């Protein structure tokens, strides 16, 4: 299911800043060499993440789910001069590919790239974050949210991806995976510690601000 009309989506991309050359290359290489390239943020969402990061001007960012590093590079564009982005991913096979693109993008010194299970790594991180991007296995979205909440500064932001789940969240008989996404959305909606807005960008991004 297309969330946005294809012609409208094309028009939106045409009137959005162009994809930087290094990200165009990463986009192409991901589609040519890596499984499940649909997981890549891509041009429009990538520029959205970059813009949000530049608006927030974070000193510390946590990303859960690196994939091939596209979103990390986008988010790093808004970091303060001495800022750092910590990104977690469980797929060690992608590490050489991802690190090579961090170097090509010139952000290797701004990114702390860790391989392992995020559920196990997050409790070991003794740090406060201005911005957190959740884009990993959807069944754990609620767990990630709970694990990171106390590590997010008041006034800080959590961005959660894929919250529309290809439009399946409005199905009359949702499948198991869709129900998990819906449960996370309801969890956030009913959390009086935050204010939130769900944007129909690509597969849906929930922007959550900690009060």
CATH number at residue 122: 3.40.50.150
| pLDDT > 90: percent of the chain | 93
Q: Which residues contact 8 (CB under 8 A, 6 or more apart)?
A: none
pLDDT tens column, 28-80: 999 999 999 989 999 999 999 999 999 999 999 999 999 999 999 999 999 99
Domain assignment present for residue 59? The answer is yes
pLDDT tens column, 179-205: 999 999 999 999 999 999 999 988 999
Contact 188, 197 (CB under 8 A): no
Domain assignment present for residue 1? The answer is no
Q: What is the mean pLDDT of residues 121-130?
A: 97
Q: Which residues contact 157 (CB under 8 A, 6 or more apart)?
A: 52, 56, 130, 131, 132, 207, 208, 209, 210
Domain assignment present for residue 113? The answer is yes
Q: What is the mean pLDDT of residues 90-105?
A: 97
pLDDT of residue 1: 53
| The 152-161 sheet, strands edge to edge | 111-115, 84-89, 60-64, 129-134, 152-161, 205-210, 194-199
pLDDT of residue 2: 62
* Residue found under tokens 């969402």: 45
Domain count across the chain: 1
Burial class (CB in 10 A: 0-12, 13-18, 19+), 103: exposed
pLDDT band, very low/low/confident/very high, at 4 (cuts 50, 70, 90): confident
Look up the pTM and report it. 0.95
Q: Which domain holds residue 25?
A: 6-210
Whole-number average pLDDT of the chain: 96
Domain assignment present for residue 77? The answer is yes
Contact 210, 194 (CB under 8 A): yes
Instruction: State how far the alpha carbon of 64 is from the alpha carbons of 1, 9, 170, in Å.
Output: 26, 27, 26
Domain assignment present for residue 105? The answer is yes
Question: Is residue 35 helix, strand or coil?
Answer: coil
């Amino acid at each position: 299911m297309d969330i946005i009309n294809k012609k409208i989506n094309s028009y939106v991309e045409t009137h959005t800043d162009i994809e930087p050359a290094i990200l165009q290359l990463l986009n192409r290489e991901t589609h040519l060499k890596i499984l499940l390239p649909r997981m890549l943020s891509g041009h429009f969402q990538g520029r959205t993440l970059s813009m949000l990061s530049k608006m927030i001007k974070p000193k510390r960012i946590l990303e859960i789910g690196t994939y091939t590093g596209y979103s990390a590079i986008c988010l790093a564009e808004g970091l303060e001069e001495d800022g750092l982005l910590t990104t977690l991913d469980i797929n060690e096979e992608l590490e050489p590919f991802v690190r090579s693109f961090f170097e090509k993008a010139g952000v290797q010194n701004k990114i702390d790239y860790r391989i392992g299970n995020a559920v196990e790594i997050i409790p070991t991180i003794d740090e406060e974050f201005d911005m957190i991007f959740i884009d990993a296995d959807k069944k754990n979205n609620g767990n990630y949210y709970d694990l990171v909440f106390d590590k997010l500064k008041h006034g800080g932001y959590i961005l959660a991806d894929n919250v529309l789940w290809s439009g399946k969240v409005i199905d009359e008989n949702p499948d198991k995976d869709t129900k998990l996404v819906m449960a996370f959305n309801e969890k956030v909606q009913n959390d009086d510690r935050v204010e939130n807005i769900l944007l129909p960008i690509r597969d849906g991004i929930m922007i959550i601000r900690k009060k």
